[in-house]
């Protein structure tokens, strides 16, 4: 179970990760082969941005300080389809991470709800990416 003293640090890691994912999906959307995939990836970017913003509000409420994101450079390379395929595994990994955090958290309803939503969003992303990778 995550200790309350560790929670702000953990939330910060999640914020940076979600902002990275938002940026990655925006970049991928620009190279999408068709409008359908472009819109899907733009929606994924919005999902990650929304999660990051919600986590930032929780962080501020918890600590009294505004979170200052630390940009993580994009490292994904390869063809569009290869990056899409690699994201399937990453979204599944993230869903497991959020599921475990949700299962081990009991006292912060807003954070717990946000983590639950992020868990499901990652699963939805993984399934959609699997269809796109076809």
Residue 85: pLDDT over 90: yes
Assess if residue 54 is contained within a domain: yes
pLDDT band at 107 (very low <50, low <70, confident <90, very high): confident
Assess if residue 2 is contained within a domain: no
Structural domain total, the chain? 1
Assess if residue 71 is contained within a domain: no
pLDDT digits (tens, 9 = 90+) for 44-72: 999 999 999 999 999 999 999 999 999 88
Contact of 18 with 11, CB cutoff 8 Å: no
pLDDT attached to residue 49: 98
Contact of 11 with 59, CB cutoff 8 Å: yes
Domain containing 98 equals: 7-65+80-133
Assess if residue 84 is contained within a domain: yes
For the record, the structure tokens of 12 come out as 């910060």
The span from the CA of 129 to the CA of 59, in Å, is 30
> Considering the entire predicted model, what is its pTM?
0.92
Which helix (H) or strand (E) segment is 117 a member of?
Answer: helix 109-133
pLDDT band at 73 (very low <50, low <70, confident <90, very high): confident
CA-nearest of 93, 79, 77 to 125 is: 93
The span from the CA of 17 to the CA of 90, in Å, is 11
Q: What is the mean pLDDT of residues 124-129?
A: 98
pLDDT digits (tens, 9 = 90+) for 26-41: 999 999 999 999 999 9
């Amino acid at each position: 179970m995550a200790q309350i003293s560790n929670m702000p640090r953990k939330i910060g890691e999640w914020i940076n990760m979600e902002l990275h994912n938002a940026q990655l999906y925006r970049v991928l959307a620009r190279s999408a082969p068709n409008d359908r995939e472009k819109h899907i990836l733009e929606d994924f970017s919005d999902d990650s941005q929304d999660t990051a913003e919600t986590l930032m509000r929780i962080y501020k409420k918890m600590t009294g300080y505004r979170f200052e994101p630390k940009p993580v450079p994009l490292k994904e390379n390869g063809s569009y389809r290869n990056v899409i395929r690699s994201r399937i595994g990453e979204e599944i990994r993230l869903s497991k991470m959020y599921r475990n955090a949700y299962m081990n958290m009991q006292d912060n309803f807003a954070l717990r709800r946000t983590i639950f939503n992020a868990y499901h969003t990652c699963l939805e992303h993984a399934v959609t990416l699997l269809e796109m990778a076809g």
